[in-house]
Chain A
């Protein structure tokens, strides 16, 4: 039994559509990193990263420019975060990185704030100025402590 060419064409189109959908899910949504063109790899160490996770956003002025590639512990027991940032960016050497939270229940992300240094950051370099995540419990603890000491005076 021979299949008609029209049927074969439809099956071919169906398989191509399925594979294209799979490719989109894998590479764009699923973020297969090994096959993606390498961006600028920067590291930043923080005293506290809160709930920051791998693949969290990296933004400048609210515009997404990259993502968190990995998180590990440095030799002095601080959190070392590796960022994968758009390679086309010429970030000044005194750029600072802060961990912020989007909304009340939102995920944590890293906001970069470019400084004014004429020197630029290159791949593998470290961002020196960092601001850790704000832990709400510590903030409230400090507030209660301050209020307590204030009322005694």
Chain B
């Protein structure tokens, strides 16, 4: 291999990534355009909210409760060393509302609903259903892709809010009901520490952005998958990987820009 080989490989990698990003941006723009034109497919949207939201409800609520219980236990053990157990509500609530709620929900939903979404669209490609739609002059972006992506954007902030509430309940169960903390100060330190604009609105904003990320990554990977059985599984796998990494990277930037 010539000395310029590795440099050229790096250049090829950068160009490939940029080309992929460009294709993703064009795909996103055309889905937004197709989805915002009438007829608005509200019934299909309801179906997609059911698939992405209602079917993910159990895993999200159980995970939220479990994470809250762990936070309650760890927080109680650490805070009691400094005689500050009464701050438990603030510790549990702030970490859930600001970070853990939106981020963990996004990771869970990417694994549970995002992969299924990508696999479904990719399988429609394999079985030539997308071509069938085009033959009937129905735009698959409008009929299949847009309701899925929009359904995810609606479902994610709601799921992340429910994750937070179940987490606060889990923290209360361990910190107050099991370890005998003061129930009044759990709630009052929580209320005192959480600010509406910085914390609640910031958390919801993260939910919306992560819903957008997972929804569009899943539909993009499904729509552009190779029309083979291996292509279907690759679309599902890469959706989870890309959506999870993108969630963590975007989380940092939203946190930095929102001014915590």
Assess whether A41 is interfacial by the CB under 8 Å rule: no
> In the complex, A1 Cα to B195 Cα: how many Å?
44
17 residue pairs of the A-B complex, CB under 8 angstroms, read A7-B47, A11-B46, A11-B49, A11-B53, A14-B53, A18-B53, A18-B157, A18-B159, A22-B157, A25-B161, A26-B196, A29-B93, A29-B200, A57-B188, A103-B86, A104-B82, A107-B189
B57, chain A: closest CB distance, angstroms: 6
Specify which of B43, B53, B190 is in contact with A3 (CB 8 Å cutoff): B43
B237, chain A: closest CB distance, angstroms: 28
Specify which of B54, B83, B154, B194 is in contact with A30 (CB 8 Å cutoff): B194
Q: Closest B residue to A10 by CB, please name it.
A: B54
Residues of B close to A7: CB separation below 8 A: 46-47, 50, 54
A57 touches B192 (CB 8 A): yes
Assess whether B184 is interfacial by the CB under 8 Å rule: yes
> In the complex, A8 Cα to B45 Cα: how many Å?
10
> In the complex, A72 Cα to B168 Cα: how many Å?
33
Residues of B close to A26: CB separation below 8 A: 196, 200
Assess whether B235 is interfacial by the CB under 8 Å rule: no
Residues of B close to A103: CB separation below 8 A: 83-84, 86
Assess whether A19 is interfacial by the CB under 8 Å rule: yes
Residues of B close to A19: CB separation below 8 A: 158
- B44, B97, B190, B191: which has the most chain A beta carbons within 10 Å? B191
Assess whether A105 is interfacial by the CB under 8 Å rule: yes
Assess whether A143 is interfacial by the CB under 8 Å rule: no
Residues of B close to A32: CB separation below 8 A: 196
> In the complex, A151 Cα to B46 Cα: how many Å?
82
> In the complex, A103 Cα to B90 Cα: how many Å?
15
Residues of A close to B87: CB separation below 8 A: 105-107
> In the complex, A26 Cα to B196 Cα: how many Å?
6
B-facing mask of A82-125, CB < 8 A → 1, else 0? 00000000000000000000111111000000000000000000
> In the complex, A105 Cα to B50 Cα: how many Å?
46
Interface residues of A in 23-69 (CB under 8 A from B): 24-26, 28-32, 55-57, 64, 67
Assess whether A17 is interfacial by the CB under 8 Å rule: yes
Q: Closest B residue to A26 by CB, please name it.
A: B200
Specify which of A2, A10, A11, A64 is in contact with B188 (CB 8 Å cutoff): A64
A-facing mask of B186-205, CB < 8 A → 1, else 0? 00111110111001100110
Residues of A close to B162: CB separation below 8 A: 17-18, 21
> In the complex, A7 Cα to B190 Cα: how many Å?
36
B33, chain A: closest CB distance, angstroms: 23
B194 touches A18 (CB 8 A): no
Assess whether B31 is interfacial by the CB under 8 Å rule: no
Residues of B close to A73: CB separation below 8 A: none
Assess whether B165 is interfacial by the CB under 8 Å rule: yes
A30 touches B188 (CB 8 A): no
A55 touches B161 (CB 8 A): no
The 7 closest A-B pairs by CB, nearest first: A18-B158, A30-B196, A30-B200, A21-B165, A21-B161, A105-B84, A10-B54
> In the complex, A29 Cα to B165 Cα: how many Å?
10
Residues of B close to A31: CB separation below 8 A: 191, 194-196
Residues of A close to B208: CB separation below 8 A: none
A100, chain B: closest CB distance, angstroms: 14
Residues of A close to B200: CB separation below 8 A: 22, 25-26, 29-30
> In the complex, A1 Cα to B57 Cα: how many Å?
24
